[in-house]
Homo-oligomer: A and B are copies of this chain.
Amino acid sequence: MTNSDFDVVGIGNAIVDVLAQTKDAFLEDNSLSKGTMTIINAETAESLYAKMGPAIEVSGGSAANTIASLSSLGGKGAFIGKVRDDQLGDVFTRDIHAIGVHFNTHSEGVETPTARSFIFVTPDAERTMQTFLGACVELGPEDIDPELISKSSVTYLEGYLWDPPKAKEAFLKAAQTAYGAGRKVSLSLSDPFCVSRHRDEFLDLITNHVNILFANEEEIKSLYQVESFDEALKQVRGHCDVAALTRGVNGSAIVAGNDVHLVDAEKVDRVVDTTGAGDAYAAGFLYGFTKGNDLHACARLGSIAAAEIISHYGARPETDLAELAANTLGQ
């Protein structure tokens, strides 16, 4: 493997989050399934936006959040994703540049508005997402720069990318390019419903293309259609080099060959909003991985990053994660 210009290049939906505090009754009244992500069309987006409470707008997108946190940890990150040249596209582009991420996916000729995800945060800090994919549906294989992929130690893909039709081709082109260049490919399963939408393709992908898999308990159980975490853990063995399985307050389990590492979650004074917890965990883990840390240390870094993200609203770090990690690990 030759030297890399980037530690991780992420490919994902480029989204601006519209974040509102919500009571549980709002979810019930609007038949929203708590804790999940649903794709909505422009019409539903408009009607939902009119009904929801006051909100804040903040850059999001699963893989984009991961790359932002990786950058805050001191890693070199790049991102590929599609926005339109509109005000929300400006917000997304500027925020990701502001945190030091390389991002230059072209937006010329994109006609659909920049994607947004309405995120309802209930008092239990759980988030329920309704995503209008907008410009993301225009991401295709032509947006994958083989040179960028070849120059990155890890190519990281979010499972949500399987939803917009053309993005799948982009996804496969990137994975093949990364393999050809002797790089690693990493996938996050994103959401249990996303897994059930694309189960067979994900299983094929994990077996044939993925080195490092990220999933939470619900997602990995959905993937193998099993009832228990322990059963899912058995199934994932041998399907990819490393599987990092997160379990919220119960920490994470890392499966690599015959080894299983169990790592505790970091303590958090008050969990405010769990949006982006998994994205941040992946960032910490991949940062550690690309810097040659052992798997236990990678998981610790994941837990530290996730703990910062869930202690405030929004899925991007509000603290310098490099400083936070140094302080926490130095204790």
Residues of A within 8 A of B (CB): 21, 49-50, 52-59, 68, 86-88, 91, 94-95, 97-99, 113, 314, 316, 318
Contacts and interface: CB of A to CB of B under 8 A. Distances in A.
Given A54-B316, A55-B91, 7 more contacts: A50-B97, A52-B98, A54-B59, A54-B99, A56-B58, A57-B57, A57-B58
A285 to B, nearest CB: 22
Contacts of A97: 50
* This protein's copies in its complex: 2
B55 A56 contact: no
B86 A68 contact: no
A130 to B, nearest CB: 15
Nearest to A57: B57
Given A86-B87, A87-B88, A87-B113, A95 B318 contact: no
Nearest to A87: B87
Nearest to A18: B91
Contacts of A113: 87
Contact of A53 (B21, B53, B54, B98): B98
A32 B87 CA distance: 25
A318 B94 contact: no
B57 A56 contact: yes
A49 B99 CA distance: 13
Contact of A91 (B50, B57, B86): B57
A99 B21 contact: no
Contacts of A314: 56
Nearest to A96: B54
Contacts of A53: 98-99
A21 to B, nearest CB: 7
A57 B57 CA distance: 5
Contacts of A55: 91, 94-95, 98
A55 B94 CA distance: 9
Contacts of A52: 98
A23 to B, nearest CB: 10
A53 B101 CA distance: 12
Nearest to A17: B56
A318 B21 contact: yes
Q: Which 7 residue pairs are nearest across A and B when measured between Cβ atoms?
A: A57-B57, A87-B87, A56-B58, A54-B95, A54-B98, A53-B98, A56-B56
Given A87-B88, A87-B113, A113-B87, A94 B49 contact: yes
Query: Which residue, A49, A52, A54, A314, has most C-beta atoms of chain B within 10 A?
Result: A54
A50 B94 contact: yes
